Structure 1
């Protein structure tokens, strides 16, 4: 009999795993939204709004054999997922892939893609009107956004503000130096080791009082628009309702070597919610999904999970950071990459054609 696998969450990790296992098990993907958003490309879409029509994609073509149930899981008991309306979905295995949240407009704040697009267009309108834009937070999203805006809208002054003394301090120093140099070439002003005094809000862009902000040292900056990009937060509500799950300092669920957060041998987590040592990036979750796909396929053939080599994260944190279509840098297994490799792998197309194919969709 074909085994049933329930996957909760239709973000990057959930859809990738569902598609990979669609030919090997009876897959049920539970997702409350009608459409998937390619959040990686949302950064560029703020500078190039025409991309919005290409990165909000229906789920309809994702699976050929399995089914997608639109709903939100309220609880998990054993191998049964119960939706908010009381409907129960039983499976032989459950994979939780509920992902993470982020400030608007980079990710949906609710389940309505129309509301998401409305908010995105509002922010784009704010960007159109602004002459001086301050981006607070110089992680991947903040740095990429600074580069995308400076490339596409060179008439605007972009200031990137980071509390860290160096860009990307958790990666090789060469990566931060390369990004700092290229941002400078694009005309971005970078303020390191600084914070905004009395940051008004962190969950969405805002217009500051009198079009000025002050840094923690009192230095004033002209800003018609402030865009906070402080970081991702894992969505772990379902896991927090389970008694024996523990969490790391960032709120991600601790797992054993086979991505299991509890004593239930058939319950797995993957992606941004899993504390594996991977960064919360596409590079990290792709490795997890690849391992889990192989492990579950072997398990479906009758192999004990404990006889499968446990999951190992990347030995070093990896990342790709485009700054517009032609610039950027990355940290990959073979070392720090420059503009050419970053552009070739990611920067030019941001994987948009790939996701059109994987969802069997044409804009």
Structure 2
């Protein structure tokens, strides 16, 4: 078809879209990282050295004709993208797939995969010698990290603090929360819920050094290592011109039912950065990519955008190590809760690695 598609961001949605459009379009994937990061498995990579090497996939495997431009996008408008070094990428279609930022270790905080592996190794060494770990946040990340730590180092005391009254915020079934609480308690994880800390720890996160904190309820907690497990921030500050109005105060980008960015007929958005009212998951980003790929093909063929996206149902998979966890998934008559065995089958053992190895034409056994 010959048209140029600039995709800003090489995460789950951007990578899937690049692969789908590459045979027929001139795809330019703009991302500052040297490799795709399978963040679904990042916490397993934190505690397991072998996994730390398996979660990175080079972008070259996506393309037969497209290319990866390794740089930051600093300006995006309907005509294309400008990168930090001043390179301009003119494009017929632009897709914002920038995702969101999140505190380390749920997402790597470096753009080079070798540096990320070194960072994981350093943190792993700190964890291995820690006796008490504090996790701030009882959402999916905090609970999953508690599960990974207690599986790898069962003797380590883990305390999870959250101002919410129960684990796992969001519109989930009580049975899901019950299952997770029961398994965490069986692992020795201490849950301090319903009260925030009076002030943050006095030492940096991920650095082993004894400290004490106090909750607003007066509970004193002593630990020698901590991590922040909350704080999703959509990455959308590069929108310029008429696209800037689509950016909400919270950073999410308004899109229509075709996943077009509000105010532009040739600009789309996929994944976490969108304001689509649904859980932000890798599966949703991949589904967004399929819709956008179909709509770009329609536009390139001279037809209007024809494919719409329906927001997904509330669903979540929360592994607790390789054998534990609980999930909520859609059922024939409404959402259902899956226990540890089913969750491990869906996500726990493999953490979906094989699916993304296939996407990048790589081996799931690498490393």
Give 1:112's aligned residue.
Answer: 112
> Aligned partners of 1:283 and 1:269: how far apart in 2?
15
Give 1:311's aligned residue.
Answer: 309
> Aligned partners of 2:70 and 2:84: how far apart in 1?
11
SS of the residue aligned with 1:68?
strand
Give the Å deviation of 1:243: 5.6
> Aligned partners of 2:77 and 2:161: how far apart in 1?
45
Give the Å deviation of 1:41: 0.7
Summarize the Cα distance change of 1:251–1:87 in structure 2 as closer, same or farther, 3 Å threshold. Answer: closer
Aligned pairs for 1:200-215 within 5 A: 200=201, 204-207=205-208, 210-215=210-215
Give the Å deviation of 1:2: 2.3
Summarize the Cα distance change of 1:338–1:61 in structure 2 as closer, same or farther, 3 Å threshold. Answer: same
Give 1:233's aligned residue.
Answer: 233
Summarize the Cα distance change of 1:94–1:202 in structure 2 as closer, same or farther, 3 Å threshold. Answer: farther
SS of the residue aligned with 1:254?
coil
Give the Å deviation of 1:242: 5.0
> Aligned partners of 1:163 and 1:300: how far apart in 2?
50
Give 2:358's aligned residue.
Answer: 357
SS of the residue aligned with 1:343?
helix
Summarize the Cα distance change of 1:215–1:263 in structure 2 as closer, same or farther, 3 Å threshold. Answer: same
> Aligned partners of 2:27 and 2:296: how far apart in 1?
12
Summarize the Cα distance change of 1:203–1:34 in structure 2 as closer, same or farther, 3 Å threshold. Answer: farther
> Aligned partners of 1:2 and 1:203: how far apart in 2?
50
- Residues 207-260 of structure 1: per-residue CA shift (max 9 Å, x gap): 46x432222212112211111111311111112665642444532111222222
Give 1:333's aligned residue.
Answer: 330
> Aligned partners of 1:283 and 1:312: how far apart in 2?
13
Summarize the Cα distance change of 1:55–1:202 in structure 2 as closer, same or farther, 3 Å threshold. Answer: farther
Q: Structure 2, unaligned stretches of length 5 or more?
A: none
RMSD over aligned CA atoms reads 2.1
Kept in 1: contact 2:132–2:222 (CA 8 A): yes
Give 1:181's aligned residue.
Answer: 182
Aligned pairs for 1:1-363 within 5 A: 1-170=1-170, 171-200=172-201, 204-207=205-208, 210-239=210-239, 242=242, 244-248=244-248, 250-305=250-305, 308-314=306-312, 316-334=313-331, 335-362=336-363, 363=366
SS of the residue aligned with 1:148?
helix
> Aligned partners of 1:191 and 1:105: how far apart in 2?
21
SS of the residue aligned with 1:74?
strand
Moved more, 68-77 or 95-104: 68-77
Give the Å deviation of 1:133: 0.8
SS of the residue aligned with 2:51?
helix
Moved more, 153-162 or 20-29: 20-29
- Residues 61-83 of structure 1: per-residue CA shift (max 9 Å, x gap): 12122222222222134322122
- Residues 264-309 of structure 1: per-residue CA shift (max 9 Å, x gap): 200111111100102222233233223223333333333211xx25
> Aligned partners of 1:260 and 1:21: how far apart in 2?
17
Give the Å deviation of 1:350: 0.4
Moved more, 168-177 or 90-99: 168-177
SS of the residue aligned with 1:320?
strand
SS of the residue aligned with 1:277?
coil
> Aligned partners of 2:244 and 2:168: how far apart in 1?
34
SS of the residue aligned with 2:60?
coil
Give the Å deviation of 1:52: 0.9
Summarize the Cα distance change of 1:168–1:106 in structure 2 as closer, same or farther, 3 Å threshold. Answer: closer
Give the Å deviation of 1:87: 2.0
Q: Structure 1, unaligned stretches of length 5 or more?
A: none
Summarize the Cα distance change of 1:44–1:22 in structure 2 as closer, same or farther, 3 Å threshold. Answer: same
